[in-house]
């Protein structure tokens, strides 16, 4: 292989790698709990939480920057430092992240239940809730039906 071809290949590889590394990714924490009552009924709970978002007030960190007044009525400037990019319509972002987290939570819960072979039959959901960048699912295993 020629020197130019090796250099071009290496450069292309570095550009591709840097593009992948700079792409924003969302990180999630998961919590999974199981419980079996005295009658043998099995319950489960799964929580998917967007990392770094502990409460509503943590969504965006605001910084007040003192500006100079110039007699023309210009007020102090306000700089906004964000942890997540702000969409044009904030409601669209809330709906979008909710649906993505709902989909992801159900997929991860199903994988987790299958991995530990927790429910031998179907499952039923008691509640599902999206609040403060957390998606919570609570449910139980349906008993096997006698044939």
Neighbours of 71 (CB within 10 A): 5
**pTM (global) more than 0.75:** no
**For residue 55, is pLDDT > 90?**
no
Neighbours of 141 (CB within 10 A): 20
Rounded CA-CA distance 45/130 in Å is 14
- Could you state, in order of their start, the residue ranges of all structural domains in the chain? 3-141
Neighbours of 49 (CB within 10 A): 19
* Residue 83 burial (C-beta neighbours within 10 Å; 0-12, 13-18, 19+): exposed
Top-confidence residue, 17 or 63: 17
Six-digit token string for 4: 């130019």
Rounded CA-CA distance 26/146 in Å is 44
Q: pLDDT digit string (tens) for 85-104?
A: 555 666 676 678 899 999 99
pLDDT, mean of residues 70-83 = 46
Top-confidence residue, 138 or 26: 138
Question: Dmax over Cα atoms in the chain, in whole Å?
Answer: 86
């Amino acid at each position: 292989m020629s020197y130019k071809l090796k250099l071009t290949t290496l450069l292309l590889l570095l550009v591709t790698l840097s593009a992948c590394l700079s792409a924003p990714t969302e990180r999630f924490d998961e919590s999974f709990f199981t419980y079996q009552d005295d009658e043998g009924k099995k319950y489960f709970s799964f929580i998917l939480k967007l990392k770094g978002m502990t409460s509503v007030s943590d969504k965006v960190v605001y910084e007040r920057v003192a500006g100079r007044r110039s007699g023309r009525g210009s007020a102090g400037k306000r700089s906004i430092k964000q942890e997540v990019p702000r969409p044009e319509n904030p409601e669209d972002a809330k709906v979008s992240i909710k649906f993505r987290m709902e989909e992801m939570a159900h997929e991860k819960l199903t994988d987790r239940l299958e991995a530990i072979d927790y429910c031998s039959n179907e499952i039923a959901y008691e509640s599902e809730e999206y609040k403060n960048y957390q998606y919570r699912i609570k449910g139980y295993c349906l008993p096997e039906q006698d044939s």
